Amino acid sequence: MLYINKKIVTDETMHPVAVLIDYQDWQRIEQILQAYQEQQKEEFNINKYAGVITLSQEPLEYQQQIRDEWK
């Protein structure tokens, strides 16, 4: 795990309100987050789900049929 030297800032009632870290640590965190976000974008591809299911009924007709059952 990445060690980050931090200082917790509290208010008068000793509730934490902020965390101070070194700028170099902040830059490392930003790099890690950016790499993670790029990885997430690459992994999710909605096109891989195209054509996976086949429908036996028109979706709008099915929706109307289900809503009619609620009445």
Per-domain boundaries in the chain: 1-47
Q: What is the pLDDT of residue 30?
A: 95
The model carries a pTM of 0.49
Q: Using an 8 Å Cβ cutoff, are 10 and 17 in contact?
A: yes
Asked whether residue 51 carries a pLDDT value surpassing 90, the answer given is no
Torsion angles phi and psi, residue 64, rounded to 5: -65, -40
| Euclidean distance between CA atoms 66 and 26, whole angstroms | 52
Digit-coded pLDDT (tens) for 28-50: 999 999 999 888 777 777 888 88
26: part of which helix (H) or strand (E)? helix 23-43
| Euclidean distance between CA atoms 10 and 8, whole angstroms | 6
Write down the mean pLDDT value for the chain: 90
